[in-house]
């Protein structure tokens, strides 16, 4: 037990990384559908490339989606709309009529008013009853524009009766018929009844939404999804036979039944085992790639989490798109994944991660070969065309490339399969366009992932390298000499790192911020001294050395306060490595010749540079600062200065932790010499 605890304690970092990869693999397997998968791949219009396919069991021949849709549309079109007769409307209309008749009758002046009252009242009542018996139908979209012989079903007391539309009135025709009936009366009676009955007509044949929905559902449920049966032992398709519409539907029906029958517990367990092995191998390949070629990523739990999270999310999004009926898998913005990874890492990591993600989705995608080809081509060409996403125009260009590649690859595959564009499903171009447009969300996602994981993109580096930023403006105001020194260092370092290969934008930003700690006591640094007065003359060498060394600590504190990213803070921390403040060191040594243990007072705390970028900045900083002390500028002195400073740093082991070669260092020396000669206008000396 103690040994186990000791192993966990010593290897906790490795155990956690393994846990992350296992967790990602498990999540992907849980996302996958747990049924079996048909072992043959086939496409309409292509020959059957496998051995003769014999039916292993009886299975129904399912109708195609197009045939089912057409049949459903026909059934819905032929359905008679259902209306119900609302008798409460009729009763209320008669009650209203009687109330209004009794109310207005006394105001009518007739010769035989008492004798005519019952007769006229009965006439109006019969006309209203007649209209309601015939029916006043609600104008609904289901009968709009229909002929008079169109049939509808009217429900009365749960009894259905089929009636012609022309046998009923709408509200307009009901008023017209009532007006025609009133024409047999004299002017006084007609005017009176018209006034009484004007508010008595209401629609009593009402559209029955609930019944219509029920009948629609029942009619659709009665549609059979199959249209025949293939018996066990029958040949479904022969080797080399062209898969036309009929054969495609046969094979597709067998696939559906085959995958549906892989449903018992033992088979599901074996399917899960197979999925887990394949997913684990792909995730393992990603882990081995990172371990072999990108150890700096495998050392960071955050970076591993970021890569695995993106892959799991893309698989999850793909599964959702497959499950949702009206969404196509190609709407998922797969090219967003390599674009996001390329923003924070290099091209190789983005390409390999994209490959792993596409293969993982390919296990569940329909027509996996076609899917993988389309996505790989789109991902590769997008990555190779767009080196970085430093501005919004690059992102729009990448979306255009994604859409163009999708269309070209899809259409070319269609030509290979069909030899014509006649059967091309042009709706796929719409899905491709949607995917390309969704890729535009890469821009805001970059910002979100920067905040979540603490990464720094080229967009952020561009913002940091802006000399109008708050911190750099402050440096220019308080320590203008240091600001100019930082600009010169950034130019030297950027040119060098661009030549030997590295992140030029990162070096430039790091160079601009590396000396911000000098703002604390600017007059103690020679580049900010505008007169002959030097405050170090009044201090002991060890005190002066401590002030100089402290600018690193002060710079780190200031960067933290202004929320400068850690990757830039590393340039502040490492730009002097573990070197010494040579001037004050030798001054102290002369004053105290008998003292031996004093070197630590004059040495920077470190750490040493850990990358090409930080190593190049250290060289550029030292060379640029030293070049200002030259009394005379010529090619020989500059070459000697550059060689001496960089060789001394190399001998001291300042670049031992950086992935930089002697060839790189030699190239950097040449660049520094050339740049310094240009800065100080040194003419090249030609041999006589």
Alpha helix ranges (H) inside 230-345? 245-261, 265-293, 295-298, 301-323, 336-344
Q: How far is CA 595 from CA 591, 598, 600, 647, in A?
A: 9, 7, 13, 28
Mean pLDDT of 123-135: 84
Calpha distance 63→607 (Å, rounded): 71
What is the pLDDT confidence band of residue 592, given thresholds at 50, 70 and 90? confident
Residue 654, SS3?
coil
Position 643 pLDDT exceeds 90: yes
Q: Can the peptide bond before residue 607 be classed as cis, meaning omega within 30 degrees of 0?
A: yes
Give residue 682's pLDDT band: very low, low, confident or very high (50, 70, 90): low
Task: Report the interhelical angle of 504-513 vs 566-574 (nearest 10°).
Answer: 60
Residue that wins the pLDDT comparison between 34 and 514:
514
Q: Which residue has the higher pLDDT, 375 or 114?
A: 375
Q: What is the mean pLDDT of residues 149-161?
A: 88
- Residue-wise pLDDT for 171-187, tens only, equals 888 888 878 877 777 77
Say what percent of the chain tops pLDDT 90.
Answer: 40
pLDDT for 683 equals: 53
Single pTM value for the model: 0.68
Read off the pLDDT of each residue in 16-36 and give the average, rounded to a whole number. 90
C-alpha to C-alpha distance for 617 and 668, rounded to whole angstroms = 11
Is residue 482 pLDDT above 80, yes or no? yes
The tens digit of pLDDT for each residue in 419-475 reads 677 767 788 899 999 999 999 888 889 889 988 888 888 888 888 999 999 999 999
Other CB atoms closer than 10 Å to residue 5's CB: what's the count?
9
**Bridge partners of 552?**
none
DSSP H helix total and E strand total for the chain: 28, 8
Q: Under a CB-based contact definition with an 8 Å cutoff, are residues 307 and 282 in contact?
A: no
First-to-final CA distance of the chain: 81
- In angstroms, rounded to a whole number, what is the distance separating the alpha carbons of residues 587 and 348? 51
Give the 3-state secondary structure of residue 230: strand
Mean pLDDT of 260-288: 83
Q: Say if residue 97's pLDDT is above 90.
A: no
Alpha helices (H) in 562-651, listed in sequence order: 566-574, 582-591, 612-627, 635-651
pLDDT of 622 reads: 94
Distance between CA atoms of residues 379 and 373, nearest Å: 10
Report the distance separating Cα 432 and Cα 401, nearest Å: 11
pLDDT at 483: 95
Contacts 24+ apart (CB under 8 A), 673-680: 673/635, 673/638, 673/639, 673/642, 675/491, 675/492, 675/495, 676/492, 676/623, 676/624, 676/627, 676/638, 676/642, 677/635, 677/638, 679/488, 679/627, 680/627, 680/633, 680/638
pLDDT-wise least confident of 7-11, 208-212, 585-589: 7-11
Residue-wise DSSP of 448-482: HHHHHH----HHHHHHHT-TTSHHHHHHHHH-HHH
* Least confident among 19-28, 522-531, 657-666: 522-531
| Torsion sign (Cα): 348, 349, 353, 356 | positive
The mean of the pLDDT values for the chain is: 86
CA–CA dist 217, 215 (Å, integer): 5
The CB-side HSE value for 687 (13 A sphere, CA atoms) comes to: 0
pLDDT tens digits for range 194-239:
777 777 888 888 899 999 999 999 998 888 888 888 888 888 888 8
Q: In b/e form, how buried is each residue of 68-106, taking b as 16+ CB within 10 angstroms?
A: beebeeeeeeeeebbbbbbeebbeebbebbeebbeeebe
Answer whether CATH 1.10.3210 is correct for domain 458-679.
yes
| pLDDT of 686 over the 60 cut | no
Q: Is the pLDDT of residue 242 over 60?
A: yes
76 within 8 A of 221, measured Cβ to Cβ: no
Average confidence (pLDDT) over 645-655: 94
Long-range CB pairs of 267-275 (<8 Å, 24+ gap) are: 267/36, 268/34, 268/35, 271/34, 271/35, 271/36, 271/37, 272/29, 272/34, 275/29, 275/32, 275/363
* pLDDT of 513 strictly over 70: yes
């Amino acid at each position: 037990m103690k040994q186990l605890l000791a192993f966990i304690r010593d290897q906790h970092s490795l155990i956690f990384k393994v846990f992350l990869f296992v967790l990602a693999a498990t999540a992907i397997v849980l996302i996958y559908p747990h049924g079996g998968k048909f072992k043959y791949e086939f496409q309409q219009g292509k020959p059957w490339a496998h051995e003769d396919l014999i039916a292993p069991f009886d299975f129904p021949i399912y109708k195609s989606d197009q045939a089912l849709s057409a049949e459903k549309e026909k059934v819905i079109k032929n359905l008679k709309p259902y209306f119900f007769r609302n008798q409460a409307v009729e009763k209320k209309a008669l009650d209203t009529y009687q109330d209004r008749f009794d109310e207005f009758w006394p105001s009518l002046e007739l010769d035989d008013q008492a004798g005519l009252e019952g007769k006229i009242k009965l006439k109006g009542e019969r006309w209203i009853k007649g209209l309601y018996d015939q029916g006043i139908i609600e104008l609904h979209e289901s009968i709009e524009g229909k002929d008079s012989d169109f049939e509808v079903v009217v429900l009365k007391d749960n009894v259905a009766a089929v009636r012609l539309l022309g046998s009923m009135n709408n509200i307009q025709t009901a008023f017209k018929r009532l007006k025609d009936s009133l024409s047999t009366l004299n002017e006084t009676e007609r005017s009176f009844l018209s006034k009484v009955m004007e508010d008595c007509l209401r629609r009593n044949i009402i559209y029955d939404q609930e019944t219509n929905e029920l009948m629609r559902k029942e009619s659709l449920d009665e549609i059979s999804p199959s249209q025949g049966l293939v018996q066990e032992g029958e040949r479904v398709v022969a080797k080399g036979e062209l898969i036309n519409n009929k054969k495609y539907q046969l094979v597709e029906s067998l696939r559906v039944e085959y995958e549906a029958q892989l449903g018992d517990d033992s088979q599901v367990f074996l399917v899960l085992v197979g999925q887990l092995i394949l997913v684990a191998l792909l995730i393992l390949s990603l882990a081995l790639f990172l371990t072999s070629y990108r150890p700096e990523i495998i050392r960071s739990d955050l970076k591993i989490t970021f890569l695995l999270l993106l892959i799991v999310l893309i698989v999850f999004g793909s599964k959702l798109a497959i499950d949702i009926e009206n969404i196509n898998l190609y709407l998922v913005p797969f090219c967003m994944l390599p674009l996001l990874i390329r923003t924070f890492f290099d091209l190789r990591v983005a390409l390999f991660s994209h490959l792993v993600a596409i293969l993982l989705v390919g296990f569940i995608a329909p027509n996996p070969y076609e899917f993988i080809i389309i996505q790989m081509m789109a991902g590769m060409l997008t990555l190779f065309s767009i080196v970085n996403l430093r501005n919004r125009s690059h992102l729009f260009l990448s979306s255009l490339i994604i859409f163009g590649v999708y269309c070209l690859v899809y259409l070319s595959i269609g030509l290979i399969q069909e030899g014509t564009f006649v059967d091309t499903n042009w709706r796929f171009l719409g899905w491709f366009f949607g995917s390309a447009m969704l890729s535009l969300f890469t821009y805001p996602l970059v910002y979100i992932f920067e905040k979540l994981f603490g990464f720094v993109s080229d967009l952020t580096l561009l913002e940091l390298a802006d000399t109008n930023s708050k911190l750099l403006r402050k440096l220019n105001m308080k320590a203008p000499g240091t600001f100019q020194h930082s600009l010169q260092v950034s130019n030297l370092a950027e040119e060098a790192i661009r030549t030997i290969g590295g992140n030029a934008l990162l070096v430039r930003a790091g160079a601009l911020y590396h000396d911000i700690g000098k703002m604390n006591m600017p007059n103690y640094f020679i580049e900010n001294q505008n007169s002959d007065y030097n405050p170090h003359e009044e201090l002991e060498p060890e005190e002066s050395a401590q002030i100089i060394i402290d600018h690193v600590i002060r710079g780190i504190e200031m960067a933290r306060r202004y929320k400068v990213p850690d990757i830039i803070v590393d340039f502040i921390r490492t730009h002097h490595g573990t070197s010494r403040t040579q001037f004050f060191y030798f001054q102290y040594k002369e004053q105290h010749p008998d003292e031996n243990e004093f070197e630590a007072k004059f040495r920077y705390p470190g750490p040493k540079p850990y990358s090409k970028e930080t190593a190049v900045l250290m060289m550029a900083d030292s060379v640029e600062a030293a070049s200002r002390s030259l009394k005379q500028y010529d090619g020989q002195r500059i070459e000697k200065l550059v060689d001496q400073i960089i060789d001394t740093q190399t001998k001291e082991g300042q670049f031992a932790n950086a992935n930089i070669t002697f060839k790189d260092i030699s190239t950097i020396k040449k660049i520094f010499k050339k740049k310094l000669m240009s800065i100080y206008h040194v003419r090249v000396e030609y041999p006589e």
